[in-house]
Amino acid sequence: MNENHPRLVASISPEWSIPQVADALSRALAGDGPALAAAPISQQSVPAEISVVVPTSGSTGAPKEVAFTSAALLASARAAHKFLGAEPGEQWSLLLPVNHIAGINVLVRALELSVPVVGIEDAAAYTAIVPTQLHRALHGDQQLLSHLQGCKAVLVGGAAASSHLLESARKANISVLTTYGMTEMSGGCIYNNQPLSGVEVKISATGNIQLRGPMMAAGYLNNLSAWKNATEDGWFTTSDLGELVGKEIRVTGRSDDQIISGGEKISLGAVEKFLSQEFHEQEFIACGVPDLEWGTKLVLLSNLDINIESVRDKLKNSLGAHAVPKGFLTVENLPLTSLGKPDRTIARELYLAAN
């Protein structure tokens, strides 16, 4: 990034209305105002070419301040609209927080279609949600359900959605499509397992998904070495493991959600995904806690009473004996991030506090 002629930064304030955020974003993208930070960042100015900064959640370490050019964010919006067949004048609804790239993306797309975003109370052609919101729409949130049913397409991303949840949504006349991506790629860049226009995908020697495209971020403002380590020849190496099946990319797990228990590697995401398919009405979070015997032991949290014997048998038969949890806890509400991902840090604390 060019350090000459730094540009001032304005951070989104919780007091700002959505029209105020959209106006600040529009001016930032056009170069007529300061760069916009989705949340407070460590710097008061950024390189001149940077328009937007989105701090990551920091779920795997200290938050990284991801910097974007206008060209990257607009490339993402245009690729999404090309896939959807969106036309100027069609509206997006904003159902996600604007301190994440997913919310920023909705605003950029609305600017591209020259129509302000609307809320849940108004009709929209397109929207973006996380699986938790989809689950709530199908289990009692009538206003959200009605809104989603009225959309031409509902983008579901931020976390993996089970096949049962997606099928239930389609049966409820919600036109869902899955998105995969990360902040560093301006959010979702794979729709229904297909790369958007301009996106290239390959699998590294270690099995990690690598992505390249015009929507890639410019770097981490506060961690240049981490960006250098994650990128090579224009490719961004993700923490997701995957495979290419024909023209489709399939995510099979994460390289950073594994624990080693008794010398055996266990994928927490694989355990959660399997259980969500076996117990459709129940939610689970798997995490590791310190243990004298196992080093780290696998424990399981759920929002409903756990049929321990059934869970043990199913996991043992499908994933192996090492994937059977050594501890169980039922909590009223599972801890999730604002984008619906499991918050394993809080889950671990809840388990330890209860035991």
HEC string of 202-214? EECCCCEEEEECC
Which pLDDT score is estimated for 270? 87
Label the pairing between strands 92-93 and 126-129: parallel
In-domain check, residue 93: yes
Pair 246, 281 in one domain: no
pLDDT of residue 39: 92
| Structure-block tokens of residue 321 | 């004996």
pLDDT over 60 at 61, yes or no: no
pLDDT of residue 37: 97
What's 325's domain CATH number? 3.30.300.30
Residue 216: its pLDDT value, please? 98
pLDDT at 325 over 50: yes
Among candidate residues 111, 139, 109, the one with its CA nearest the CA of residue 126: 109
345 membership: H or E segment, kind and range: helix 344-354
Query: Long-range contacts for 223-227 (Cβ within 8 Å, ≥24 apart)?
Result: 223/62, 223/64, 223/65, 226/64
Q: State phi, psi for 281 to the nearest 5 degrees.
A: -90, 5
Q: Which amino acid, residue 291?
A: D
Cβ-based neighbours of 132, under 8 Å, separated by 6 or more: 159, 336, 340
- Which CATH number do you get for residue 58? 3.40.50.12780
In this prediction, residue 241 has a pLDDT band, given cuts at 50, 70 and 90, of confident
Domain count, the chain: 2
Q: Phi/psi of residue 190, each to 5°?
A: -125, 120
- Full residue range of the structural domain in which residue 206 is found: 7-251
* Residues 131 and 169 occupy one common structural domain: yes
Is the domain of 127 the same as that of 50? yes
Question: Against a cut of 0.75, is the pTM above it?
Answer: yes
- 171-175, 179-183, 246-250, 253-257: the lowest-pLDDT one: 253-257
What does the DSSP 8-state code read for residue 336? B
Last residue of a domain, one of 218, 251, 284: 251
| Residue 127 CA from chain centroid, whole number | 15
Position 72 in a domain? yes
> Within this chain, do residues 217 and 348 fall inside the same structural domain, yes or no?
no
Enumerate the β-bridge partners of residue 346: none
Confidence of residue 2 (pLDDT cuts 50, 70, 90): low
Query: Going by C-beta distance under 8 Å and a sequence separation of 6 or more, which residues neighbour residue 259?
Result: 265, 266, 268, 288, 296, 298
Are 241 and 289 members of one domain? no
In a domain, 2, yes or no: no
Whether residues 239 and 298 share a domain: the answer is no
Tell me which DSSP letter residue 184 carries. Answer: G
340 within domain boundaries:
yes
The span from the CA of 157 to the CA of 187, in Å, is 9
Q: Are residue 222 and residue 264 in the same domain, yes or no?
A: no
Residues 90/3, Cβ–Cβ less than 8 Å: no
**Per the structure block, which two tokens stand in for 167?**
């099928």
Q: Could you tell me if 309 and 231 lie in one domain?
A: no
Q: Is 46 within the bounds of a domain?
A: yes
Does the residue 1 lie in any domain?
no
Q: For the chain, what is the radius of gyration of the CA atoms?
A: 21
Shared domain for 134 and 244, answered yes or no, is: yes
Single residue among 251, 266, 290 that ends a domain in this structure: 251
Residues 88 and 189 in one domain: yes
Quick: pLDDT tens for 105-144.
Answer: 999 999 999 999 999 999 999 999 988 899 899 999 999 9
Which of the listed residues 201, 236, 251 is the one where a domain comes to its end?
A: 251
Q: 81 φ, ψ to 5°?
A: -65, -35
Number of Cβ within a 10 Å radius of residue 62: 11
Note whether 210 and 77 are same-domain residues. Answer: yes
Instruction: Give phi and psi for 49, each to the nearest 5.
Output: -80, -5
My answer on whether 189 and 316 are in the same domain is: no
Using alpha carbons, select from 128, 132, 133 the residue that is nearest to residue 145: 133
pLDDT tens for 151-196 read 999 999 987 788 888 999 999 999 999 999 999 999 999 999 999 9
Q: Are 25 and 99 in contact (CB under 8 A)?
A: no
Q: Which residues contact 311 (CB under 8 A, 6 or more apart)?
A: 275, 279, 300, 325, 328
**Per-state percent for the chain, helix, strand, coil, to nearest 5:** 30, 30, 40
pLDDT at 258 over 60: yes
Q: Tokens standing for 47?
A: 């390189």
Report how far residue 199's alpha carbon sits from residue 98's, in angstroms, rounded to the nearest whole number. Answer: 24
Cα–Cα distance measured from residue 220 to residue 116, given in angstroms and rounded to the nearest whole number: 30
Q: Which of 25-34, 183-192, 239-248, 331-340 has the lowest mean pLDDT?
A: 331-340
CB 174 within 8 A of CB 89: no
